[in-house]
Amino acid sequence: MKKIFMTCAVMSCFCAGLHAQDIYKVEMLSGSDLDGDARYVGMGGAMSALGANLSAMGTNPASTGLYRRSDVSFTAGLSSQPDGMHLINNARELGPDKTRGFVNQAGMVYAIRTGNDTGLKFFNIGFNYKRARNFKQYIGLNGISTPNGLSQTWQMLDLAQDMDGYWLDLENEKDRDQTTPLTLLGYGTYLIDPVIKDNTITDYLGSAAQAYNYRRAQWGGIHQYDINFSTNISERFYVGVTMGIYDVSWHNLLCYDEMLLNNQGQHFGNSNMQLEEHMTGVGFDGKVGIIVRPMEESPFRMGLSVTTPTAYDLETSSNLYLYSPYTDDDHPDGFWGEMDSNNKYRIRTPWKLNLSAATTVGNFLALDAEYELQNYSSAAVRYSDSGEYYYDDYYEGGWSSYSTDLGLQTEIKNWMRNVHTFRLGIEARPSSNFAVRAGYNFVSSPFDKDAYLNLLAEGPSYYYASNTDYVNLGETHRATLGLGYSTKYFYIDAAYQHQMQEATVYAFHYCDDGRFGVKNALEGQQLKLHRNNFQITLGVKF
């Protein structure tokens, strides 16, 4: 059979109209880092009940109600991944440097005194920018052996069948719509090849590999802009609302190659896959919060806040390239092909609930503790009903002209777990001008231990997957230290944060027990994704 996917020029005629979403991209847009001004970071992010902090308006909007003076601050810092690596491809570096400078925060609050003779003491208006998430991450795996010839092409074989187990004819346009772009490229470059009997495809044969190299660099971030209104009622009740606006910019470069074996078990060449992805978009959410001092003579206070799901409007584009060392008389240097894809879609992140408590001891000690719950069962991905790739079986109406991908919704419920966050912070003031801070921040893993990228889930999200790799993130532990110096009008704060997180990386998924199986025959690789951050805040109060 002469394959229609023979050259790059022909391959480009079959560009996928959608770019796939999955549970890992849902987490990427739903999670957040510990970032903001240096006092907030130095306290481990535990400022929601203590209040009078610009960054805390993003967790409990009532926190700015404790301001009695106006405040303006600016924060800049450095971030590094000590275990990261510089990735080289075609003599150029993939992604930015391991250590980069950032603007972490900038904001102000204007405190309006309403009069001492009324219950409403202050009405405050605030604005704050902070970097909600830093996507910068490097992963490098070199010379990883695969057992029994296990190859990424074996997953392509699983994807070369329809949901009922019948082999797809990848020359047929209707059948091509039922698999992924990577599988089509694998077919076009002879990494998988059909077995034909009586003009009928009875099987597909994949390649065998002895080892693989995996390199990924991603960067960009989520920038959060908060607009806040808060009140101080009788110095006992503090109430606030915040509207959050989010700007997303994400870039990903992935290089994967396998050392292939011939029929005699000898290495004869390497296949190579390269994927470049870009995502941009905006999101909106709302927050409402309250802080209460239950005892008039005590500084003890309790806080409660709720954050709505962030509704993201996103656009993604990607370029997928695949090379194989198989040759013929017309292609002595091997076969290659590429595909471009783009997509517009919406993602709804989980609800958040925050509980906090804080107190002060005289003028020399402040303590804050809080718990936050993120409910992933409320997350969803939605596509336009009018899109070319609309399937009635896999959608459920909502968001006006957008509908939920039910296949991906099932995967979210199966493999994503509610995230529990604990924050503790302490600030000591040995003198009126000088402060020392420490904090601890814990975030539970968002994934079940057996989570995987299920490319056989029914739904359009997975029909257009350009990759097979996935990273299961573990728990996050953050330890912070901070220093501060202040005068009547001016202050300077500094903070250091050490983030500890481990992850398990899989280049692809293949189950020996059947293509719908969960257990991956490819051993996951354990990596440390630790990160160090340092930042300084300059501020003025008036």
Least confident of 160-169, 317-326, 457-466, 516-525: 457-466
pLDDT in tens, 179-213: 999 999 999 999 999 999 988 999 999 999 999 99
- Would you state the pLDDT for residue 13? 38
What is the average per-residue pLDDT within 266-270? 94
pLDDT at 14 over 90: no
What is the average per-residue pLDDT within 148-155? 96
Place of tokens 């257990």: 519
Cα dist from 83 to 136, 138, 532, whole Å: 12, 8, 10
pLDDT in tens, 397-431: 444 467 888 888 899 999 999 999 999 999 999 99
Place of tokens 């991908």: 405
283 CB burial (10 A radius; 0-12, 13-18, 19+)? buried
- Residue range 18-151+207-541 forms a domain whose CATH class is mainly beta
Eight-class DSSP state of 22: -
What is the average per-residue pLDDT within 449-466? 84
Burial 252-276 (b: 16+ CB within 10 A, else e): bbbbbbbbbbeeeeeeebbbbbbbb
What is the average per-residue pLDDT within 241-253? 97
Cα–Cα dist 452/508, whole Å: 9
498 CB burial (10 A radius; 0-12, 13-18, 19+)? middle
Contacts of 381 (CB under 8 A, 6+ apart): 21, 26, 345, 346, 347, 348, 404, 405, 408, 409, 461
pLDDT in tens, 81-124: 876 554 444 333 444 456 678 899 999 999 999 876 678 889 99
Mean pLDDT of the chain: 89
pLDDT in tens, 37-79: 999 999 999 999 999 999 999 999 999 999 999 999 999 999 8
- Would you state the pLDDT for residue 221? 95
The half-sphere exposure of 441 on its side-chain side, counting CA atoms within 13 A, is 25
- Would you state the pLDDT for residue 222? 97
What is the average per-residue pLDDT within 282-305? 96
Amino acid symbol at 34? L
- Would you state the pLDDT for residue 486? 96
Among left, alpha and beta (phi > 0; psi -120 to 50; other), residue 115 is left
Q: Where are the domains of the chain?
A: 18-151+207-541
State the virtual CA torsion across 337, 155, 407, 475 in degrees, nearest 10. -110
State the virtual CA torsion across 418, 448, 161, 257 in degrees, nearest 10. 110
> Which candidate, 486, 367, 485, places its Cα nearest to that of 427?
367
Q: Which two tokens stand for residue 237?
A: 């009740």
Q: Which two tokens stand for residue 11?
A: 């391959």
pLDDT at 244 over 80: yes
Among left, alpha and beta (phi > 0; psi -120 to 50; other), residue 36 is left
Cα–Cα dist 315/249, whole Å: 10
What is the average per-residue pLDDT within 247-258? 96
- Would you state the pLDDT for residue 83? 67
Tell me the residue ranges of DSSP E strands in 328-378: 335-348, 351-361, 365-375
What is the average per-residue pLDDT within 436-458? 95
What is the average per-residue pLDDT within 255-272? 94
pLDDT at 9 over 50: no
- Would you state the pLDDT for residue 6? 43
What is the average per-residue pLDDT within 442-471? 89
What is the average per-residue pLDDT within 357-365? 94
**Rounded to two decimals, what is the model's pTM?**
0.91
Between 540 and 514, the more confident residue is 540
**DSSP assignment string, 496-517:** EEEEEEEEEEES----TT-TT-
What is the average per-residue pLDDT within 537-542? 97
Between 394 and 426, the more confident residue is 426
- Would you state the pLDDT for residue 90? 37
Cα–Cα dist 369/473, whole Å: 25
